Structure 1
Amino acid sequence: MKDLMGQAISDYFHNKNPEDLQTETSISELDELPVSYLFRDFEEMNSIEKKALTLSSGKVLDIGAGAGSHSLYLQNERNLDVTALDISPKSIEVCQLRGIRKTVNQNMLEFSGETFDTILLLMNGTGIFQSLIVIDIYLKKLYSLLNENGQILIDSTDIIYMFDADEDGGVYIPAEGYYGEIDYIVHYKADTEDPIKWLYLDFNTLKNAVENNGFKIEKMITEENSYLARITKR
Protein backbone atom coordinates (compact mmCIF):
# COMPACT_ATOMS: atom_id res chain seq x y z
CA MET A 1 0.00 0.00 0.00
CA LYS A 2 1.59 3.25 -1.17
CA ASP A 3 -0.63 5.49 0.98
CA LEU A 4 -0.98 8.16 -1.71
CA MET A 5 -4.02 9.68 0.00
CA GLY A 6 -2.00 10.01 3.19
CA GLN A 7 0.95 11.44 1.27
CA ALA A 8 -1.27 14.13 -0.24
CA ILE A 9 -2.72 14.96 3.18
CA SER A 10 0.80 15.18 4.62
CA ASP A 11 2.10 17.33 1.76
CA TYR A 12 -0.82 19.74 2.13
CA PHE A 13 -0.44 20.03 5.91
CA HIS A 14 3.32 20.57 5.71
CA ASN A 15 3.03 22.77 2.59
CA LYS A 16 5.34 20.48 0.60
CA ASN A 17 4.15 21.27 -2.94
CA PRO A 18 0.79 19.50 -2.64
CA GLU A 19 -1.11 18.63 -5.80
CA ASP A 20 -4.72 17.62 -6.34
CA LEU A 21 -5.48 13.94 -6.02
CA GLN A 22 -6.88 12.21 -9.07
CA THR A 23 -9.34 9.38 -8.68
CA GLU A 24 -11.06 7.01 -11.06
CA THR A 25 -13.24 3.93 -10.80
CA SER A 26 -14.12 0.94 -12.92
CA ILE A 27 -17.28 2.78 -14.03
CA SER A 28 -16.10 6.41 -14.21
CA GLU A 29 -13.35 8.49 -15.75
CA LEU A 30 -10.55 10.42 -14.07
CA ASP A 31 -11.70 13.10 -11.64
CA GLU A 32 -9.81 15.62 -9.51
CA LEU A 33 -10.10 15.76 -5.72
CA PRO A 34 -8.55 18.92 -4.21
CA VAL A 35 -6.65 17.93 -1.07
CA SER A 36 -7.96 21.10 0.58
CA TYR A 37 -11.42 19.45 0.54
CA LEU A 38 -10.16 16.96 3.16
CA PHE A 39 -9.32 19.87 5.51
CA ARG A 40 -12.69 21.66 5.32
CA ASP A 41 -14.35 22.97 8.47
CA PHE A 42 -17.92 22.35 9.63
CA GLU A 43 -19.42 25.22 7.63
CA GLU A 44 -17.92 23.83 4.43
CA MET A 45 -19.27 20.30 4.96
CA ASN A 46 -22.34 18.95 3.20
CA SER A 47 -25.71 18.42 4.90
CA ILE A 48 -25.08 14.69 5.45
CA GLU A 49 -21.82 15.33 7.30
CA LYS A 50 -23.36 18.14 9.35
CA LYS A 51 -26.30 15.92 10.33
CA ALA A 52 -23.98 13.08 11.36
CA LEU A 53 -21.79 15.35 13.46
CA THR A 54 -24.84 16.90 15.10
CA LEU A 55 -26.24 13.46 15.97
CA SER A 56 -22.92 12.21 17.40
CA SER A 57 -22.81 11.75 21.16
CA GLY A 58 -20.83 10.10 23.93
CA LYS A 59 -17.61 8.27 23.17
CA VAL A 60 -16.96 8.40 19.41
CA LEU A 61 -14.92 6.27 16.99
CA ASP A 62 -14.27 8.00 13.65
CA ILE A 63 -13.39 5.22 11.19
CA GLY A 64 -11.53 6.36 8.10
CA ALA A 65 -10.70 9.66 9.74
CA GLY A 66 -8.43 10.90 6.93
CA ALA A 67 -7.13 14.39 7.74
CA GLY A 68 -9.27 14.39 10.89
CA SER A 69 -11.76 17.16 10.11
CA HIS A 70 -14.76 15.31 11.57
CA SER A 71 -12.83 14.23 14.68
CA LEU A 72 -11.48 17.74 15.26
CA TYR A 73 -14.94 19.27 15.17
CA LEU A 74 -16.35 16.72 17.61
CA GLN A 75 -13.38 17.04 19.95
CA ASN A 76 -12.96 20.81 19.92
CA GLU A 77 -16.47 22.14 19.26
CA ARG A 78 -18.64 19.40 20.81
CA ASN A 79 -16.20 18.42 23.59
CA LEU A 80 -16.69 14.72 22.87
CA ASP A 81 -14.25 11.89 23.59
CA VAL A 82 -13.13 11.01 20.04
CA THR A 83 -10.78 8.38 18.63
CA ALA A 84 -9.66 8.89 15.02
CA LEU A 85 -8.88 5.59 13.27
CA ASP A 86 -7.33 5.23 9.84
CA ILE A 87 -5.27 2.61 8.02
CA SER A 88 -3.06 5.38 6.59
CA PRO A 89 -0.03 6.15 8.80
CA LYS A 90 0.57 9.56 7.20
CA SER A 91 -3.06 10.56 7.73
CA ILE A 92 -2.91 9.59 11.39
CA GLU A 93 0.34 11.54 11.79
CA VAL A 94 -1.46 14.63 10.47
CA CYS A 95 -4.41 13.97 12.78
CA GLN A 96 -2.00 13.99 15.71
CA LEU A 97 -0.28 17.17 14.54
CA ARG A 98 -3.67 18.87 14.14
CA GLY A 99 -4.34 18.18 17.82
CA ILE A 100 -6.52 15.07 17.88
CA ARG A 101 -5.74 13.53 21.24
CA LYS A 102 -6.69 9.90 20.52
CA THR A 103 -5.61 8.25 17.27
CA VAL A 104 -5.23 4.68 16.02
CA ASN A 105 -3.32 3.63 12.88
CA GLN A 106 -4.96 0.28 12.23
CA ASN A 107 -7.42 -1.62 10.08
CA MET A 108 -10.81 -1.52 11.80
CA LEU A 109 -11.02 -5.33 11.64
CA GLU A 110 -7.90 -5.55 13.83
CA PHE A 111 -8.96 -2.87 16.32
CA SER A 112 -10.33 -4.06 19.67
CA GLY A 113 -10.38 -3.40 23.39
CA GLU A 114 -12.87 -0.54 23.47
CA THR A 115 -16.54 0.07 22.76
CA PHE A 116 -18.22 3.28 21.66
CA ASP A 117 -21.49 5.20 21.85
CA THR A 118 -21.15 6.56 18.30
CA ILE A 119 -19.26 5.05 15.38
CA LEU A 120 -18.82 7.33 12.38
CA LEU A 121 -18.26 6.10 8.82
CA LEU A 122 -18.53 9.10 6.51
CA MET A 123 -17.62 10.10 2.93
CA ASN A 124 -19.26 6.96 1.54
CA GLY A 125 -18.69 5.02 4.72
CA THR A 126 -19.98 1.79 3.18
CA GLY A 127 -16.97 1.80 0.87
CA ILE A 128 -14.85 0.17 3.55
CA PHE A 129 -17.03 -2.97 3.34
CA GLN A 130 -15.53 -3.65 -0.11
CA SER A 131 -18.10 -6.20 -1.31
CA LEU A 132 -21.42 -7.79 -0.36
CA ILE A 133 -19.53 -11.07 -0.08
CA VAL A 134 -17.63 -9.88 3.00
CA ILE A 135 -19.99 -7.24 4.41
CA ASP A 136 -21.07 -9.56 7.25
CA ILE A 137 -17.48 -9.66 8.54
CA TYR A 138 -17.44 -5.86 8.86
CA LEU A 139 -20.92 -5.63 10.37
CA LYS A 140 -20.10 -8.25 13.01
CA LYS A 141 -16.96 -6.26 13.88
CA LEU A 142 -18.96 -3.04 14.17
CA TYR A 143 -21.46 -4.84 16.41
CA SER A 144 -18.61 -5.80 18.76
CA LEU A 145 -17.33 -2.20 18.92
CA LEU A 146 -20.73 -0.65 19.67
CA ASN A 147 -22.18 -0.10 23.15
CA GLU A 148 -25.63 -1.58 23.73
CA ASN A 149 -27.42 1.75 23.29
CA GLY A 150 -24.92 3.08 20.76
CA GLN A 151 -25.33 4.17 17.15
CA ILE A 152 -23.49 3.81 13.86
CA LEU A 153 -23.81 6.83 11.55
CA ILE A 154 -22.92 5.85 8.00
CA ASP A 155 -23.47 7.36 4.57
CA SER A 156 -23.52 6.02 1.04
CA THR A 157 -24.77 6.73 -2.47
CA ASP A 158 -27.00 4.71 -4.75
CA ILE A 159 -24.98 4.86 -7.98
CA ILE A 160 -27.69 3.35 -10.19
CA TYR A 161 -27.89 6.79 -11.86
CA MET A 162 -24.43 6.24 -13.35
CA PHE A 163 -25.65 3.42 -15.59
CA ASP A 164 -27.37 3.85 -18.96
CA ALA A 165 -31.14 3.55 -19.11
CA ASP A 166 -33.38 2.50 -22.00
CA GLU A 167 -36.44 4.34 -23.26
CA ASP A 168 -38.70 2.49 -20.82
CA GLY A 169 -36.59 3.41 -17.82
CA GLY A 170 -34.83 0.07 -17.48
CA VAL A 171 -31.19 0.30 -16.44
CA TYR A 172 -28.29 -1.59 -17.99
CA ILE A 173 -26.30 -2.97 -15.05
CA PRO A 174 -23.68 -5.73 -14.88
CA ALA A 175 -25.10 -9.24 -15.20
CA GLU A 176 -22.89 -10.56 -12.40
CA GLY A 177 -22.43 -9.19 -8.89
CA TYR A 178 -23.91 -6.04 -7.36
CA TYR A 179 -23.70 -2.82 -9.37
CA GLY A 180 -22.33 -0.85 -6.41
CA GLU A 181 -19.17 -2.97 -6.17
CA ILE A 182 -16.41 -1.06 -7.98
CA ASP A 183 -12.65 -0.75 -8.26
CA TYR A 184 -11.32 2.57 -6.92
CA ILE A 185 -7.94 3.95 -7.99
CA VAL A 186 -6.00 6.92 -6.57
CA HIS A 187 -3.32 8.85 -8.49
CA TYR A 188 -0.99 11.42 -6.92
CA LYS A 189 2.09 13.16 -8.35
CA ALA A 190 2.51 10.72 -11.25
CA ASP A 191 2.18 7.70 -8.94
CA THR A 192 -0.73 5.26 -8.85
CA GLU A 193 -2.16 3.21 -6.00
CA ASP A 194 -3.18 -0.38 -6.61
CA PRO A 195 -6.96 -0.62 -7.18
CA ILE A 196 -9.02 -1.22 -4.06
CA LYS A 197 -12.51 -2.67 -3.80
CA TRP A 198 -15.07 -0.03 -2.82
CA LEU A 199 -18.77 -0.51 -2.10
CA TYR A 200 -21.62 1.90 -2.78
CA LEU A 201 -24.93 0.69 -1.35
CA ASP A 202 -28.52 1.62 -2.03
CA PHE A 203 -30.46 1.96 1.22
CA ASN A 204 -32.53 -1.23 0.87
CA THR A 205 -29.46 -3.39 0.28
CA LEU A 206 -27.77 -1.88 3.34
CA LYS A 207 -31.00 -2.38 5.32
CA ASN A 208 -31.13 -6.09 4.46
CA ALA A 209 -27.46 -6.57 5.38
CA VAL A 210 -27.64 -4.85 8.77
CA GLU A 211 -30.91 -6.53 9.75
CA ASN A 212 -29.28 -9.90 9.06
CA ASN A 213 -26.58 -8.97 11.59
CA GLY A 214 -28.68 -7.99 14.60
CA PHE A 215 -29.17 -4.31 13.82
CA LYS A 216 -32.05 -2.02 12.95
CA ILE A 217 -31.68 0.98 10.66
CA GLU A 218 -33.35 4.28 9.81
CA LYS A 219 -32.63 6.83 7.12
CA MET A 220 -31.85 10.21 8.68
CA ILE A 221 -31.36 12.50 5.67
CA THR A 222 -30.99 12.32 1.90
CA GLU A 223 -29.08 14.60 -0.46
CA GLU A 224 -29.65 13.85 -4.15
CA ASN A 225 -28.61 10.18 -4.53
CA SER A 226 -26.82 9.99 -1.17
CA TYR A 227 -28.16 9.30 2.31
CA LEU A 228 -27.18 9.11 5.97
CA ALA A 229 -28.33 6.08 7.96
CA ARG A 230 -28.45 5.49 11.71
CA ILE A 231 -27.85 1.88 12.73
CA THR A 232 -28.53 0.58 16.24
CA LYS A 233 -28.63 -2.81 17.94
CA ARG A 234 -32.01 -4.55 17.98
Structure 2
Amino acid sequence: MTELFGRAVADHYHDRMDEPLLVRDGAETQEHPIEAFYFEPFDPESEAGRWLSSWVRAPLLDVGAGAGRHALVFGARVETVAVDVSESLVAVMTDRGVADARVADMFSLPSRFDRDRFGSALVVGTQLSLAGSMQGLRGLLGDLAFVTDADATAVVDGYDPGHEAAAELLGYRPDPTPGLAHRTFHFAYEGAVSETLQFRLFSPDRLREATVGTGWRVADVRRADEGSYYRAALTKP
Protein backbone atom coordinates (compact mmCIF):
# COMPACT_ATOMS: atom_id res chain seq x y z
CA MET A 1 0.00 0.00 0.00
CA THR A 2 2.67 2.46 1.05
CA GLU A 3 4.35 3.19 -2.27
CA LEU A 4 1.22 2.74 -4.36
CA PHE A 5 -0.57 5.28 -2.20
CA GLY A 6 2.46 7.54 -1.99
CA ARG A 7 2.98 7.38 -5.75
CA ALA A 8 -0.63 8.40 -6.37
CA VAL A 9 -0.33 11.39 -4.02
CA ALA A 10 2.98 12.36 -5.64
CA ASP A 11 1.43 12.10 -9.10
CA HIS A 12 -1.39 14.38 -7.98
CA TYR A 13 1.11 16.87 -6.57
CA HIS A 14 3.15 16.92 -9.80
CA ASP A 15 -0.03 17.16 -11.91
CA ARG A 16 0.63 13.90 -13.72
CA MET A 17 -2.31 11.87 -12.44
CA ASP A 18 -4.36 10.37 -15.27
CA GLU A 19 -6.52 8.07 -13.15
CA PRO A 20 -8.06 8.51 -9.70
CA LEU A 21 -6.85 6.73 -6.58
CA LEU A 22 -9.62 4.33 -5.62
CA VAL A 23 -10.60 2.82 -2.28
CA ARG A 24 -12.26 -0.58 -2.58
CA ASP A 25 -14.01 -3.09 -0.37
CA GLY A 26 -15.43 -5.89 -2.49
CA ALA A 27 -17.71 -4.33 -5.09
CA GLU A 28 -17.89 -1.01 -3.25
CA THR A 29 -15.57 1.64 -4.67
CA GLN A 30 -14.91 5.28 -3.83
CA GLU A 31 -12.50 7.85 -5.22
CA HIS A 32 -10.02 8.97 -2.56
CA PRO A 33 -10.12 12.80 -2.18
CA ILE A 34 -6.39 13.50 -2.34
CA GLU A 35 -6.59 17.29 -2.69
CA ALA A 36 -8.97 17.75 0.24
CA PHE A 37 -7.20 15.32 2.56
CA TYR A 38 -3.54 16.15 1.87
CA PHE A 39 -3.16 19.51 0.15
CA GLU A 40 -5.89 21.75 1.49
CA PRO A 41 -3.95 24.28 3.58
CA PHE A 42 -4.12 23.82 7.33
CA ASP A 43 -5.55 26.97 8.94
CA PRO A 44 -4.12 27.40 12.44
CA GLU A 45 -6.49 30.33 13.06
CA SER A 46 -9.68 28.34 12.52
CA GLU A 47 -11.47 26.98 15.59
CA ALA A 48 -10.18 23.47 14.93
CA GLY A 49 -6.73 24.83 14.08
CA ARG A 50 -6.47 26.78 17.33
CA TRP A 51 -7.48 23.69 19.30
CA LEU A 52 -4.84 21.57 17.57
CA SER A 53 -2.17 24.25 17.90
CA SER A 54 -2.83 24.58 21.63
CA TRP A 55 -1.49 21.04 22.16
CA VAL A 56 1.74 21.49 20.18
CA ARG A 57 5.00 21.82 22.12
CA ALA A 58 8.51 21.97 20.74
CA PRO A 59 10.07 19.93 19.35
CA LEU A 60 7.23 18.28 17.40
CA LEU A 61 7.10 14.83 15.82
CA ASP A 62 4.54 14.58 13.00
CA VAL A 63 3.89 10.86 12.48
CA GLY A 64 2.47 9.72 9.15
CA ALA A 65 2.82 13.29 7.93
CA GLY A 66 1.60 12.55 4.39
CA ALA A 67 2.18 15.56 2.15
CA GLY A 68 3.19 17.79 5.07
CA ARG A 69 -0.08 19.66 5.57
CA HIS A 70 0.56 20.23 9.28
CA ALA A 71 4.36 20.11 9.22
CA LEU A 72 4.54 23.08 6.85
CA VAL A 73 2.66 25.29 9.32
CA PHE A 74 4.12 24.04 12.59
CA GLY A 75 7.61 23.85 11.13
CA ALA A 76 7.59 27.62 10.75
CA ARG A 77 6.93 27.94 14.50
CA VAL A 78 8.76 25.10 16.24
CA GLU A 79 11.33 22.46 15.39
CA THR A 80 9.33 19.80 13.53
CA VAL A 81 10.38 16.35 12.37
CA ALA A 82 7.90 14.90 9.86
CA VAL A 83 8.02 11.16 9.21
CA ASP A 84 6.23 8.85 6.83
CA VAL A 85 6.87 5.29 5.74
CA SER A 86 6.50 6.26 2.05
CA GLU A 87 9.60 7.53 0.25
CA SER A 88 7.35 9.20 -2.33
CA LEU A 89 5.53 11.18 0.34
CA VAL A 90 8.76 12.22 2.03
CA ALA A 91 10.00 13.49 -1.34
CA VAL A 92 6.77 15.49 -1.75
CA MET A 93 7.13 16.99 1.73
CA THR A 94 10.71 17.99 1.04
CA ASP A 95 9.77 19.58 -2.27
CA ARG A 96 6.98 21.52 -0.56
CA GLY A 97 9.42 22.98 1.94
CA VAL A 98 9.27 20.74 5.00
CA ALA A 99 12.72 21.24 6.51
CA ASP A 100 13.12 17.85 8.18
CA ALA A 101 11.16 15.06 6.48
CA ARG A 102 12.31 11.48 7.01
CA VAL A 103 11.33 7.97 6.01
CA ALA A 104 10.32 6.11 9.18
CA ASP A 105 7.77 3.49 10.20
CA MET A 106 5.51 4.59 13.06
CA PHE A 107 5.84 1.10 14.54
CA SER A 108 9.61 1.48 14.99
CA LEU A 109 9.90 4.93 16.56
CA PRO A 110 12.09 3.89 19.54
CA SER A 111 14.69 2.56 17.11
CA ARG A 112 14.74 5.86 15.21
CA PHE A 113 14.65 8.46 17.98
CA ASP A 114 16.15 8.87 21.44
CA ARG A 115 14.11 8.73 24.62
CA ASP A 116 12.50 12.11 25.50
CA ARG A 117 13.43 13.54 22.08
CA PHE A 118 10.14 15.41 21.47
CA GLY A 119 7.79 17.70 23.36
CA SER A 120 4.71 16.68 21.40
CA ALA A 121 3.51 14.33 18.69
CA LEU A 122 0.81 14.38 16.03
CA VAL A 123 -0.64 11.13 14.75
CA VAL A 124 -3.41 12.58 12.60
CA GLY A 125 -4.82 10.67 9.63
CA THR A 126 -6.51 7.78 11.48
CA GLN A 127 -3.35 5.67 11.04
CA LEU A 128 -3.36 4.94 14.76
CA SER A 129 -6.07 2.37 13.95
CA LEU A 130 -3.50 0.38 11.96
CA ALA A 131 -2.22 -0.84 15.34
CA GLY A 132 -4.79 -3.57 14.70
CA SER A 133 -5.78 -4.41 18.27
CA MET A 134 -6.06 -2.90 21.71
CA GLN A 135 -2.74 -4.53 22.60
CA GLY A 136 -1.16 -3.08 19.47
CA LEU A 137 -2.61 0.32 20.31
CA ARG A 138 -1.09 0.18 23.79
CA GLY A 139 2.26 -0.74 22.28
CA LEU A 140 2.17 2.19 19.85
CA LEU A 141 1.16 4.61 22.61
CA GLY A 142 4.03 3.26 24.69
CA ASP A 143 6.44 3.91 21.81
CA LEU A 144 5.14 7.50 21.53
CA ALA A 145 5.68 7.90 25.26
CA PHE A 146 9.27 6.69 24.90
CA VAL A 147 10.24 9.28 22.29
CA THR A 148 8.50 12.20 24.07
CA ASP A 149 9.48 13.94 27.29
CA ALA A 150 7.82 13.88 30.70
CA ASP A 151 5.61 16.91 29.97
CA ALA A 152 4.68 15.88 26.45
CA THR A 153 1.38 16.18 24.65
CA ALA A 154 0.02 14.26 21.67
CA VAL A 155 -2.95 14.52 19.35
CA VAL A 156 -4.37 11.38 17.74
CA ASP A 157 -7.54 10.75 15.79
CA GLY A 158 -9.95 8.03 14.76
CA TYR A 159 -13.52 7.01 14.03
CA ASP A 160 -15.89 6.27 16.89
CA PRO A 161 -17.75 2.97 16.31
CA GLY A 162 -20.32 4.13 18.86
CA HIS A 163 -21.52 6.85 16.51
CA GLU A 164 -24.28 5.80 14.13
CA ALA A 165 -22.45 7.32 11.15
CA ALA A 166 -19.51 4.91 11.57
CA ALA A 167 -21.42 2.15 9.80
CA GLU A 168 -21.40 4.31 6.66
CA LEU A 169 -17.61 4.11 6.33
CA LEU A 170 -16.43 2.06 3.38
CA GLY A 171 -15.16 -1.26 4.66
CA TYR A 172 -16.82 -0.99 8.07
CA ARG A 173 -17.14 -4.23 10.02
CA PRO A 174 -19.16 -4.25 13.26
CA ASP A 175 -17.92 -5.85 16.46
CA PRO A 176 -20.06 -7.11 19.36
CA THR A 177 -17.71 -5.42 21.83
CA PRO A 178 -18.96 -1.91 22.68
CA GLY A 179 -16.69 0.83 21.40
CA LEU A 180 -14.79 -1.37 18.97
CA ALA A 181 -15.13 -2.22 15.28
CA HIS A 182 -13.02 -3.09 12.25
CA ARG A 183 -12.50 -1.44 8.89
CA THR A 184 -11.05 -3.22 5.86
CA PHE A 185 -10.21 -1.90 2.38
CA HIS A 186 -7.47 -1.64 -0.22
CA PHE A 187 -6.28 1.00 -2.67
CA ALA A 188 -6.25 0.65 -6.46
CA TYR A 189 -4.30 2.90 -8.82
CA GLU A 190 -3.31 2.56 -12.48
CA GLY A 191 -4.09 -1.16 -12.53
CA ALA A 192 -2.19 -1.95 -9.32
CA VAL A 193 -3.83 -3.04 -6.08
CA SER A 194 -2.44 -2.59 -2.58
CA GLU A 195 -2.49 -5.15 0.18
CA THR A 196 -5.66 -5.14 2.24
CA LEU A 197 -5.54 -2.69 5.14
CA GLN A 198 -6.94 -3.81 8.48
CA PHE A 199 -8.00 -1.06 10.89
CA ARG A 200 -9.18 -1.44 14.47
CA LEU A 201 -11.64 1.34 15.23
CA PHE A 202 -11.96 2.44 18.85
CA SER A 203 -14.14 4.92 20.71
CA PRO A 204 -12.71 7.65 22.94
CA ASP A 205 -13.57 5.50 25.96
CA ARG A 206 -11.62 2.57 24.49
CA LEU A 207 -8.73 4.94 23.80
CA ARG A 208 -8.81 5.95 27.47
CA GLU A 209 -8.70 2.27 28.38
CA ALA A 210 -5.73 1.71 26.08
CA THR A 211 -3.70 4.53 27.62
CA VAL A 212 -3.56 2.82 31.02
CA GLY A 213 0.03 1.89 31.75
CA THR A 214 1.42 3.73 28.70
CA GLY A 215 2.27 7.02 30.38
CA TRP A 216 -0.58 8.89 28.67
CA ARG A 217 -4.06 9.99 29.63
CA VAL A 218 -6.84 11.42 27.44
CA ALA A 219 -7.10 15.12 28.36
CA ASP A 220 -9.66 16.28 25.78
CA VAL A 221 -11.73 14.98 22.89
CA ARG A 222 -12.88 17.12 19.97
CA ARG A 223 -15.56 15.69 17.71
CA ALA A 224 -16.49 16.70 14.19
CA ASP A 225 -19.69 18.68 13.80
CA GLU A 226 -21.24 15.55 12.37
CA GLY A 227 -20.05 12.03 11.72
CA SER A 228 -17.95 9.62 13.73
CA TYR A 229 -14.56 11.31 13.33
CA TYR A 230 -12.84 12.67 16.44
CA ARG A 231 -9.48 13.91 17.70
CA ALA A 232 -8.11 13.28 21.17
CA ALA A 233 -5.46 15.22 23.03
CA LEU A 234 -3.18 13.17 25.28
CA THR A 235 -1.02 14.38 28.14
CA LYS A 236 1.31 12.67 30.56
CA PRO A 237 -0.01 12.53 34.16
Q: Do they superpose with TM above 0.5?
A: yes
Q: Secondary structure at the match of 2:80?
A: strand
Q: In 1, Cα distance between the equivalents of 2:56 and 2:67?
A: 19
* 1:198-233 deviations in Å (ceiling 9; x for gaps): 232100000000123232112242113222211122
Paired with 1:30 and 1:60, the residues of 2 have a C-alpha distance of 36
Unaligned runs of 5+ in 2: none
Q: Percent identity?
A: 20
Cα separation, 1, equivalents of 2:19 and 2:47: 27
Q: Secondary structure at the match of 1:3?
A: helix
- SS of 1:227's equivalent? strand
Query: Aligned in 2, Cα 1:191/1:53: closer, same or farther, shift over 3 Å?
Result: farther
Counterparts of 1:46-85 in structure 2, within 5 Å, are 48=48, 51-76=51-76, 79-85=77-83
State the number of aligned residues: 224
TM-score by length of 1: 0.84
Are 1:131 and 1:197, in contact at CA under 8 Å, matched by a contact in 2? Answer: no
Q: After the TM superposition, which residues 100-139 of structure 1 pair with which residues of structure 2 at under 5 Å, given as runs?
A: 100-111=98-109, 112-114=112-114, 115-139=117-141
Matches within 5 A, 1:1-234: 1=1, 3-25=3-25, 29-37=28-36, 38-43=38-43, 48=48, 51-76=51-76, 79-111=77-109, 112-114=112-114, 115-160=117-162, 161=164, 162-163=166-167, 173-175=174-176, 179-223=180-224, 224=226, 225-234=228-237
Q: Decide whether the 8 Å contact of 1:48 with 1:222 is kept in 2.
A: no
Bigger drift between 187-196 and 108-117 goes to: 108-117
Q: Structure 1 unaligned runs (5+)?
A: 165-171
Contact 1:183 1:198 in 2 (8 A): yes
Superposition TM-score, scaled by structure 2 size: 0.83
Tell me which moved more, 212-221 or 198-207. Answer: 212-221
Q: Report the alpha carbon displacement of residue 84 of structure 1 after superposing the two structures with TM.
A: 0.7
What SS is found at the alignment partner of 2:188? strand
Deviations 1:28-81 (Å, cap 9, x if unpaired)? 9322122212111024999656632443221111001111111011113xx211
Q: Is the 8 A contact 2:182 2:198 kept in 1?
A: yes
Q: 1:200 aligns to what SS in structure 2?
A: strand
